[in-house]
Structure formats: structure tokens, C-alpha cells
Amino acid sequence: MKKFDLLITGVGGQGVILASDIIGEAALAAGYDVKKTDTLGMAQRGGSVVSHVRIGQRVWSPLIKEGEVDILVAFEKLEATRWGHYLRSGAIAIVNSHALPPLSVVLGNERYPTDEEIADSLGQWADRIYFIDGTSRTRKFGDVRTLNMFMLGCASLFLPLKVHVWKDSISQRVSSTMRQMNIAAFNLGRKEIRGVRI
């Protein structure tokens, strides 16, 4: 049984925690041992959020060691860069290319990194980086709040779980009125990665 260490990062309010919960529950349903943990900081919204999901035959530490992440799923590209040093050599990074500049950048006190800097930074460790504008895709599709399911769909192609396991786990965690929309966003993410997969 292979092990997978996933880091899901983003900004408070983007749905990082729900996405990582679903990965954990899907992996459990597929027979893996699972641990997942979130680092949230103190407020409801707007801060940097990171979630560790570990899947394997037997998992000890809930936190992934720096340099051992197999798959990074970043809902925001600055938040991808912040955690890049957690990637192992040869890791995969799936990055929403939409920028959410923090307040210090808006106020002109700090500078948001350029796309080139972000790619270079992640490229030190990641073998494959998928920059996808998940925010525009889901906005065009109908609801930007489904970004987490879209990103989940992207990530799902790199994990050996059957598609019905994913869909069951999603269905158990979203309200019945939102189910169809969320699964459609998940499918959209899968399609997106299939289109660009190297």
C-alpha cells in the first residue's frame, strides 16, 4: 500500500478544511489508515490555512514532515509558495493561479511575488506544477464557492481512489441541495487536469 502525504493550503473561507476532510474520509472508505490535521490560526476568515492529510498503511504523526509532501493542493498561489519547502523532490503541485493579495500588499507595505518567482520557488522541489485558474473556472461555471470541490477534483486524479468513493464522500458532507453543484465542480476539476496532464 503506497503512502500519500497531501498538503492543502489556502485562505480562510475558501473551504480548505472541508476539502481535506473529504480526502480523509474517502481514503478511509478505501481502506487506508488516515490522519489529518489543520492549522488555522485564530480567526474565522482571511488568514492563512493549511491542512495536512496523511494516507497509508499505518500513519503515526498527523503532521507531515517538511520535505515529505507528495501532493500540494493550493487554493491560492501565495499560499502555495509559503509551504513549498514542505514538498519532497519530485512532488506534484496543483495551484489555483488566482491571487488574493493580503492586506499588507493592498496597503503597499509588502510585495506579492510574481508568477515567475512562484514557479521558480516551487520548481526547486516540485516536478510537476499545474497552474489552473480555479477561481475563474468555478465563477464561470456558476459558483466560486465550489472552488474547493474543483480543486479536489484536480487532486483526485493523483490518488488511487475510485471515482464513486470520492462522490460518496462528497455527498455525505454537503447538503442535498448543494450536492449536484459540488459534484459537477469536482468533475470539472478532473476534466481540467485530464486536459493538461503531462
Footprint of another protein (CB under 8 A): 11-12, 21, 24-25, 28, 33-48, 59-63, 65-67, 78-79, 81-82, 84-87, 101-113, 117, 121, 124-125, 144
The nearest distance, CB 33 to another protein, in angstroms, is 6
Q: What would the grid cell of residue 149 be?
A: 470541490
3-state secondary structure the chain: CCCEEEEEEEECCCCHHHHHHHHHHHHHHCCCEEEEEEECCCCCCCCEEEEEEEEECCCCCCCCCCCCEEEEEECCHHHHHHCHHHEEEEEEEEEECCCCCCHHHHCCCCCCCCHHHHHHHHHCCEEEEEEECHHHHHHHHCCHHHHHHHHHHHHHCCCCCCHHHHHHHHHHHCCHHHHHHHHHHHHHHHHHHHHHCC
**Shorter beta-carbon distance to another protein: residue 48 or 156:** 48
The nearest distance, CB 145 to another protein, in angstroms, is 9
**Shorter beta-carbon distance to another protein: residue 109 or 176:** 109
**Shorter beta-carbon distance to another protein: residue 62 or 160:** 62
Place of cell 493542493: 73
**Shorter beta-carbon distance to another protein: residue 113 or 167:** 113
The nearest distance, CB 43 to another protein, in angstroms, is 3
Q: What would the grid cell of residue 167 be?
A: 462522490
The nearest distance, CB 13 to another protein, in angstroms, is 8
**Shorter beta-carbon distance to another protein: residue 106 or 196:** 106
The nearest distance, CB 149 to another protein, in angstroms, is 17
